[in-house]
Structure 1
Amino acid sequence: MSDQPRVTIREFTGRQPETEQALAGLSVESAAGLRQFSLERMLGYGVDYADAVELRGRVLAGDRWAEAATRLAEQCLQYAQAAAIEVVRAPFLLRASALLRMSQMMFLQDTAERREIYARAAVLYAEAAVILGDRERVNVDGPQGTLVGWWFHATPQPVGTVVVIGGVEGWAMDFASMGLALAQRNLNVLVLDGPGQGETRFTHGQYLTAEWRASYGAVLDYVQKRAPGVPIGLVGNSMGGSLMMAIAVADERIRACCDNGGLVAPSMVTSSVGTFHTKMVLFCGTSDPDAAARIWTDVNPIADGPNTGYPLLIVHGSKDPLISDDLATAMLTHAPTADKEMTVFSDGDHCIYNHLQDRDALIGDWMRARLATAGE
């Protein structure tokens, strides 16, 4: 018998310098992925810190974005399979799901491969949800088909129900931290894939069309029936903030709304912006920029409506590359309610991913206070 201790080494690429020179040597896709999805944003979408660092290191070393993320996901699944007890599997399943979702971020078309990747990520997320028991997958029947979301149960008794959506890129599973934070504050939470988002898009073929208001109306019908008599709030992240404000002003069931990173006029985004505009067009299920522009023009967060006067919180980051301080101020100024306020994070990035817990706490505390008062 050997008296030498066993030594196991786990090899990692590790953190690499992200200089302009290093980025210049990469493919267009890899360089764009590193620029668009900062370390903070990746963590905000549920990617584990170590996985995010390793993914970035491997891409800087020359691996393709999607392949690097997929290989890391497979490694997490190996750890999950080796887990001695069931509860230990959940974190690894969530890590693998987040990495698979990250792997498809740079796709600019809805290919069969992209749909398969996203479906697999959803299966892993659902397995983790069953183990954790803190959220459940729900299907909402809408006028154009099924919408998919995750329902986080209030603990212990709900003072309100909140519908949360992401934007053009980050979707329901990516906003689990917000779902958990709001549920801890006695709020039911439906973190939703709306038309053009996530499983609603890839599995059920729903995009943002001229009928988008009817689809969100069906969602509000669903939450009202599931938790009758409980006031309803909305939270929209990125372009989802613009959508939620447009819904809030038009529906008197909405008792509070938070915009985290929305644009005062989404139709302002033109082809000069680059791939983000391409993704906005694809969000509408078309390759025709003019057709998409007509749909986005109808998303008007500062329009008047029957629910003018709803309570509004705008959350803004002064280092947001998409929404300038002037654009955030314009949203605050022109929003059709006198009951409005804005919180600015002086170093905040888009959707405040670099202050994730503080962001979720701010929105959760504000929403709880507003809906609890509305319920009285």
Structure 2
Amino acid sequence: MQLPVSEAGADSAKRNAALMRAVPLTRLVDYGVTVGDALELTARISTKEAPAWDLVAEDMAGRYASLAREAAADGCMISAAQAWACAAALNHVAQLAYNADEPRKAALYEAGRQAVIAHGSIVGTVSELQLPSPEGALYGWQVAPAGGAPLAAVVIVGGLSGWGAVYLSMAQALARRGVLCVLAEGPGQGSTRMRSGLHLDAETLPLFTRFVDHAHASGARRVGVCGNSFGGLFAAHMAAMDPRVSAVCINGAPMAPTVPDFRTAREQMAALFGVESESALEQRLTDLRMSPHKHRIDAAMLVVEGGRDPLVALGEQASFFDLGQRQRCQLMTWPDGEHTIYNHAAWRNAQVADWFCAQLLPDS
């Protein structure tokens, strides 16, 4: 399909270049984009007169949606499910081009949501969650293991711009080990923000534990939480406020966040919290900061860090250990690891899933 050249010219080229720095090939693959599609996306937006990032990713997603429908019409349901998963991943990375919740971002995210629903209707183990709350519906996904009722569950939380189904590969690593996975889109995230209009503040932060409620209601006797990027801070809060959390993994988060220097991160935080002024943003971050004087985590704790993480310095996350029991804390380091270990995603998923199994299924 021939796409229109962006009307922004040089500005669009700069924006595409900035997005490629923020969303490198390793992150695209971690979010479910195939290597071939990641290479195609970056190649198509790399020229000076290239279309915008979101137009190219959306075009590729549409191609997969057509392939999914054709495969289903031919009775090739496994191929249809695979194509819907590819369409979802590409729509999810397309929406990364926008920080604020303008209609274009919401439409792209909704297209990703519909693709995951279509994928789940075929595979049978992936289903959407809409958990009621007085403030509005909390959205997410459940990834169930094959076989009997799970004895354990893990709630996975994303950060500022990647949520929910972008962590399907991590969820599937847990499901293959017999663990139910809940992909949470909490206040300020994903469809919970864009459909329910629910933002994050000190009052809505406890709503993250509604996903723990769901895990217990599904039959899990033990529950863990895993937070990726800024979501690691949310996971730590969940573990501190909810004694039902038996294990927590923090992957790439600051314990005491401050207003970032980068405009993109500031805009993403403003969207998360639903604020406009820097003073309001500072207050929200102050409310989120954790310290041993105010917070205690009794759950087993795993911190995952990378030596090439430009956002969270090596060793910085060790401060979370001050909130817990040192003998129950473990550090997992990739010396060459990028932010949240994008560049070793498959082995990261395996190692983190094995750790959760050791904590939540000790007799298995």
The two structures have a TM-score, normalised by structure 2, of 0.90
Match of 1:293 among 282, 298, 305: 282
The count of aligned residue pairs is 350
Separation in structure 1 between the aligned mates of residue 175 and residue 157 of structure 2, nearest angstrom: 15
Letter in 1 for 2:300: P
**Is contact 2:156-2:182 (8 Å) kept?**
yes
Letter in 2 for 1:239: F
| TM-aligned CA distance change 1:310 to 1:244, over 3 Å | same
**Is contact 1:172-1:191 (8 Å) kept?**
yes
Kindly report the root-mean-square deviation, in angstroms, between the aligned alpha carbons of the 2 structures: 2.1
Q: How does 1:248-259 map to 2 (within 5 A)?
A: 248-259=239-250
Letter in 2 for 1:291: A
- Unaligned 5+ segments in structure 2 are 3-9
1:217: which partner in 2? 209
**Which protein is bigger by CA-based radius of gyration?**
1
Q: How does 1:182-201 map to 2 (within 5 A)?
A: 182-201=174-193
1:174: which partner in 2? 166
Match of 1:311 among 295, 300, 303: 300
| TM-aligned CA distance change 1:246 to 1:263, over 3 Å | same
Separation in structure 2 between the aligned mates of residue 281 and residue 220 of structure 1, nearest angstrom: 26
Percent of residue pairs identical:
28
Letter in 2 for 1:136: S
Match of 1:269 among 240, 250, 259: 259
Letter in 2 for 1:148: Y
1:141 CA displacement: 1.3
**Is contact 2:296-2:323 (8 Å) kept?**
no
Q: How does 1:1-376 map to 2 (within 5 A)?
A: 27-61=13-47, 62-83=50-71, 84=74, 85-156=76-147, 157-227=149-219, 230-266=221-257, 268-270=258-260, 272-303=261-292, 308-332=297-321, 334-338=322-326, 339-373=328-362
Compare 252-261 and 137-146 and name the one that shifted more: 137-146
Compare 114-123 and 236-245 and name the one that shifted more: 114-123
**Is contact 1:207-1:284 (8 Å) kept?**
yes
Separation in structure 1 between the aligned mates of residue 204 and residue 115 of structure 2, nearest angstrom: 29
1:307 CA displacement: 5.3
Separation in structure 1 between the aligned mates of residue 325 and residue 153 of structure 2, nearest angstrom: 21
| TM-aligned CA distance change 1:74 to 1:273, over 3 Å | same
Q: Tell me, what secondary structure is at the counterpart of 1:298?
A: helix
Separation in structure 2 between the aligned mates of residue 306 and residue 109 of structure 1, nearest angstrom: 31
1:26 CA displacement: 6.0
Q: Give CA-to-partner distance per residue, 1:123-162, whole Å, 9 cap, x none.
A: 1111011111121111111231111111111344423111
Q: Tell me, what secondary structure is at the counterpart of 1:27?
A: helix
| TM-aligned CA distance change 1:233 to 1:310, over 3 Å | same
Separation in structure 2 between the aligned mates of residue 111 and residue 54 of structure 1, nearest angstrom: 26
Q: Tell me, what secondary structure is at the counterpart of 2:96?
A: coil
The two structures have a TM-score, normalised by structure 1, of 0.87
Q: Give the ranges of 4+ consecutive aligned residues of structure 1 lying more than 6 Å apart after TM superposition.
A: none
Q: Tell me, what secondary structure is at the counterpart of 1:342?
A: strand
Letter in 1 for 2:162: G
**Is contact 1:246-1:300 (8 Å) kept?**
no
**Is contact 2:259-2:281 (8 Å) kept?**
no
| TM-aligned CA distance change 1:63 to 1:167, over 3 Å | same
Letter in 2 for 1:160: A
| TM-aligned CA distance change 1:301 to 1:359, over 3 Å | farther
1:16: which partner in 2? none
**Is contact 1:249-1:305 (8 Å) kept?**
no
